[in-house]
Structure 1
Amino acid sequence: MAALKDRLRADLTQAMRAKDEVRKATLRMVLAAIGTEEVAGSQARELTDDEITVVLTREAKRRREAAEAFRTGGRPDSAGQEDSEAAVIAEYLPQPLTDAELDEIVVAAIAEAGAESPRDMGRVMKIVQPKVLGRVEGAKVAAAVKSRLS
């Protein structure tokens, strides 16, 4: 059983008791996304904490993108709602990596893979991705790897 999912459920119950509408709605949405992911595919199964972290990362990214779209569209009230939801989700994600920490991981992965050119980017990404899971966006990782290999 995933400890993170249990924590989300317990926090949902607590938010319902506290009548915290934003937290309650956000946690329900996250638990629904996890449930959808669990039944997706050919066989229903319980997600691990790492898989739940991937779902949380995806949902947080969606909220940030939606907030940006609302700001661009001149709807600051809706952007604020999305920012609030993203903040709730962020509480359940691991601490983000600093640029220096990411660079250190990328350098070690390049050495481990024996990468020398941008053509080796895939091998390096396979090493780096599990180490940074949920702590930094994939595009930022790709950019860091690409800059080191160029």
Structure 2
Amino acid sequence: MELKSSVKDAMKDAMRDKDKPRLGTIRLIMAEIKRIEVDERTEIDDERLLTILDKMVKQRRDSAKQYIDAGRTELAQVETDEIAIIQEFLPEALTEEELNALVAEAVNESGASSMQDMGKVMAILKPKVQGRADMGSISGKVKKALL
């Protein structure tokens, strides 16, 4: 609940500062929270909110890449700006060394020896890296470690 209240506080601050781009992005976050709460009739906890924010960042990265490929750099910049705002609410990103150490630790902990054990390794890693690293890059590191 702490994360959700910090998003609400940031929205109030953006309103006071009349920061329209920031306010718009934070409103998108709040709208997604509300949508899920209404659809599922549940209160979102911090862990679930991290998942939501992570998904929003991934969507924007994909959109920015498509805009760049289409030559629409101004729209890609909007997406990049939104990513920066959303990432303010995510925990600090892990470094490459930390990621490699976590992958090695998870492989050892799960006793994984082949690609068939990748699910076990990912199940151990996901709660540790949620919101702090891109799961696609983690998946690639796990594949390398298991080959």
How large is the RMSD of aligned CA atoms in angstroms? Answer: 1.0
Q: 1:7-46 to 2 correspondence within 5 Å?
A: 7-41=6-40, 44-46=41-43
Q: 1:1-150 to 2 correspondence within 5 Å?
A: 2-41=1-40, 44-150=41-147
Residue 115 of structure 1 and its aligned partner are, at CA, apart by 1.0
Residue 106 of structure 1 and its aligned partner are, at CA, apart by 1.1
After the TM superposition, which parts of structure 1 deviate over 6 Å for at least 4 consecutive aligned residues? none
TM-score, normalised to structure 2, is: 0.95
Of residues 63-72 and 122-131 in structure 1, the stretch that sits farther from structure 2 once superposed is 63-72
The separation in 2 between residues aligned to 1:62 and 1:104, in whole angstroms, is: 27
How many pairs does the alignment contain?
147
Residue 35 of structure 1 and its aligned partner are, at CA, apart by 1.3
Residue 118 of structure 1 and its aligned partner are, at CA, apart by 1.2
Identity of aligned residues (%): 37
Of residues 7-16 and 64-73 in structure 1, the stretch that sits farther from structure 2 once superposed is 64-73
SS at 1:112's partner residue? helix
Unpaired runs of 5+ residues, structure 2, are: none
Unpaired runs of 5+ residues, structure 1, are: none
TM-score, normalised to structure 1, is: 0.93
Of residues 129-138 and 20-29 in structure 1, the stretch that sits farther from structure 2 once superposed is 129-138
